[in-house]
Amino acid sequence: MFQNPEISLEHLPSLDHVDWQPLHDRYVAEQVVARTGTLAFLVVLMCVVEFAPPVEIPLTLLRWGVLGLFGAALLTWPLVAVPRQGYIVRDKDIVFRAGVLWRSVTAIPYNRIQHVETSSTPLNRHFGTATLKLFTAGGAGGDMKIDGLPADTAEQLRVMILEKAGASIEQS
């Protein structure tokens, strides 16, 4: 007979006292370099706009001031966001947290994982990082992507998760 007993809120597991694993030490620098490329593109675009038709000086100063503020925010954001990201590898699942303003914590049980892959761009390889992507049976809403992992750790996690997911499939 099916039973579904109630669990007391005091007995729920807590993530407050777990040892969150940080992302790669060089991931902040990688993000700053990537964002510098975006900022350089915006500066070139601004130069094209600025020097094509004649414009008044106050408007020019306003545009460059806005671009400067945007650029400063763009380049400093990784310093704020990356330390707030982390992951935990547990016996039955993997948990990832991210976010500064909008925070999220995602846990994916190994028995729901259908596919795992690692990927790296040339910039990732230069900084020694990789991305781990987990694909679940539930579709895109249940997938997980962890950027900024050390490349060897990402590969080790991929192999371990595939083994655990395969073992849970074989036992079903």
Residue ranges of E strands in the chain: 86-89, 93-98, 104-109, 113-119, 129-136, 144-150
Domain range 85-171, its CATH number among 2.30.29.30, 3.40.50.300, 3.40.50.880, 2.60.40.1120: 2.30.29.30
Torsion sign (Cα): 31, 36, 37, 43: positive
pLDDT category of residue 8 using cuts at 50, 70 and 90: confident
Q: Could you read off the pLDDT of 102-159 as tens digits, one per residue?
A: 999 999 999 999 999 999 999 999 999 999 999 988 766 678 999 999 999 999 999 9
pLDDT above 70 for 46: yes
- Tell me the average pLDDT across 21-40: 94
Residues 6+ apart with CB under 8 A from 22: 83, 85, 86
Q: What is the pLDDT of residue 139?
A: 67
Q: Could you read off the pLDDT of 80-100 as tens digits, one per residue?
A: 999 999 999 999 999 999 999
Domain boundaries, the chain: 27-81, 85-171
Q: Which two tokens stand for residue 26?
A: 């060089």
pLDDT above 80 for 167: no
